[in-house]
Structure 1
Amino acid sequence: MTAIQPPFLTNLEPLQKTLTPELGLVCITADKQVRFRTMTRTRYLQLSREKQESGLREIYQHNLQRLFTALDFCQENQIRLYRMSSGLFPLSDMEDNIGADILEEMSADLGKIGEKAEKLQIRMVLHPDQYVVLSSDSADVVQTSIKILERHARTMDLLGLPRSPWSLMNIHGGKSQRLEQLVRVICELPPAIKSRLTFENDEYAYSGSEILAVCEATGVPMVFDAHHHICHENLDSYDDPSVAAMFYAARETWENPDWQLVHISNGETAFRDRKHSDMITAMPDVYHQAPWIEVEAKQKEVAIAHLRSWWLIENNHK
């Protein structure tokens, strides 16, 4: 499968010139409308094979229906960006292949998600969990990380989502001071992964400039996170000149700059608090030029509505 551009974005002027930024919902809603079921590995291993299969099948069918509900919710609330949960289909990467086989059997139903997303013009993305560490000094950890990404990539294929940064899989750099290995591993990834892969700067291991260097060396887009940046650099404002500089530098890593995605969160108890707050009350001024923004706030859709009530109004006056 080659990288494709969603048909509803062809022949458009650059989004940032014609539209206000699109604010994205992360995984679930603050209310109970969008929720997903799971099963722990410990519980799974206690079950007979028959119950493992029936249990996973029931959860997968439930979560798939909830995914349809999430798209409906986004449509109703005029949200065009949705981050899927990395645990949408739990235990599908087990070596027994039970979960993976169930997903293959459900392929016809899974494929309807991509069709619905395209019809509703909703962009769907994924953020694999923290256990994906391509820069680990353990070969086993790297191989396990690649297997996790392969499973996510296959699931996205089954969901009918394109192999391009439009339907990105975003991860962190992982273990610090391993830039050369990280670049080498990325370059060797299979197309189903690399075609969707993006990297995000973090608060601890990889600064914005370090992740930028990785992205430039590998041709992988950079997802700039302004809050991670101010925490890592010990800054006092989202409008520090380095924030805008990193935003523009990250944009250059996107072959299609209209697809550039950034993250925003605020500190819970202080400006540089790494824990996320309920709402977003401070935004980088440069984010008025961001086409797509994932809102990483605890109050989810409530935080999006709040941003629309003040920040997007400011944007419209610029």
Structure 2
Amino acid sequence: MNLAVRQDNLERLPELGLVCITASDQVRYRTVTRKRLLQLSPEEQENTLRKLYTENLARLNRALDFCAEHQIRLYRMTSALFPFADDALGETILAEFSDELRSTGDRATALGIRLVLHPDQFVVLSSDRPEVIENSIKILAAQARILDLLGLPRSPWAMMEIHGGKSGRAERLIQVIRDLPEAIRSRLALENDEYAYSATEILAVCQAAEVPMVFDAHHHVIHEQLLSYEDPSVSEILLAARDTWPVPEWQLVHISNGSDSFNDQRHSDLITVMPSAYRHAPWIEIEAKLKEQAIEKLRTDWLPTLSTPYAVNAAQQ
């Protein structure tokens, strides 16, 4: 792919995204366990979920305030925003918030904040157990409904990103993705991981299933036991992954650093090493323990060093 800046594009630096919460207590969410909820009477369950949904929606709006104040244009919402929304009771209560949710989604759009999701580890579309796949689709359907209620587009702009799941079942994964409901499939993206699906393997799945690939450079170096983000494969896969996005300027990637060593899978507090190829990544989720502090450090130490900002179309949606 030609990375030259086209005259009809606007130049900008990569956008650095906040993942779910802040290191401070400014962005936090409430939850309730299934065990606790089932101990309550039906009326108490309903009241508990309604109160929790009200509070978490208010907190999502505070997260938008935080992102706007700190000029963060990418925000990964927590998949636990509305617990039990994939159950009948939660689904019914969530419908009561349709107007408020649409207002919040419109507000995010007006603020220029891109909202994405990373559903939990229970989503395994490549499982050899039909009931696991069925439950995974149920979870994804609930998350897609939340995005619909927010008024977000059915496209990877409002991405739902998952891992490949059970290794050695690429063909099954591809077939399940092809058969997904449109509300899910139109937003779905796959990420490479440390052990089950390498970047090359998940790239092939994305190409066959026609869904975008989210490239994680740190997962890649762990899987391939590389000693540097400057291995040529990092740049090569970044560019190949871009071709899986229907709008290349929407490409989203992840970055984390190892906590105790370069290849440590545990996340460090801050990001101190960035792949040089990431100067061409338009959207980067920052997976570091200190969240907004990691973003600020990259803005101070890394972004000013970039000699070639990413070129992006003015109209992104």
Asked if these proteins are the same fold (TM beyond 0.5), I'd say yes
Determine the C-alpha separation between the residues in 2 that align with 1:300 and 1:75. 15
User: Is the contact made by 2:279 and 2:308 (CA closer than 8 Å) also made in structure 1?
Assistant: no
| AA of the residue aligned to 1:86 | S
1:250-291 per-residue CA deviation (whole Å, 9 max, x = no partner) reads 001011110000000000000000000000000000000110
Query: Matched residue of 2:162: which SS?
Result: strand
- The 3-state SS of whatever aligns with 2:107 is helix
Alignment correspondent of 1:190? 181
How far the C-alpha of 1:13 sits from its partner, in A, is 4.6
- For residue 288 of structure 1, the aligned residue among 279, 296, 305 is 279
Contact 2:46–2:89 (Cα < 8 Å) also in 1: yes
Q: How many residues align?
A: 303
| Partner of residue 304, structure 1 | 295
Instruction: Report the TM-score when normalising by structure 1.
Output: 0.94
Corresponding residue of 2:56: 63
CA distance in 2, matches of 1:59, 1:316: 46
What is the rounded CA distance, in whole Å, between the counterparts of 2:287 and 2:167 in structure 1?
A: 24
2:141 is aligned to 150
Q: Deviations over 1:234-260 (max 9, x none)?
A: 000001001001100100101111000
Q: Distance in 2 between matches of 1:13 and 1:244?
A: 25
| Equivalence for 2:14 | 21
Alignment of 1:86-235 (within 5 A): 86-94=79-87, 97-235=88-226
Rounded Cα–Cα distance in structure 2 between residues aligned with 1:216 and 1:13: 28
Residue 274 of structure 1: aligned partner: 265
Q: Which runs of 5+ in 1 are unaligned?
A: 1-11
2:238 corresponds to which of 233, 243, 247: 247
The percentage of counterpart residues that share the same residue type is: 61
Q: Distance in 1 between matches of 2:109 and 2:282?
A: 18
2:105 and 2:151 map into 1 onto residues whose CA distance is 4
DSSP-derived class of the 1:87 partner: coil
TM-score (norm 2): 0.94
Partner AA of 2:264 in structure 1: D
- Give the Cα separation in 2 of the matches to 1:19 and 1:248: 18
CA deviation profile, 1:164-223 (whole Å, cap 9, x unmatched): 000000000000000000000000001000000000000010000100001100110000
Q: Report if the CA contact (8 A) 1:20-1:316 is conserved.
A: no
Maintained 8 Å contact 1:132/1:148: yes
Cα offset, 1:114, TM superposition: 1.3
Q: Structure 2 counterpart of 1:45, which letter?
A: L
Stretches (4+) displaced over 3 A: none
CA contact (8 A) 1:23 1:293 kept: yes
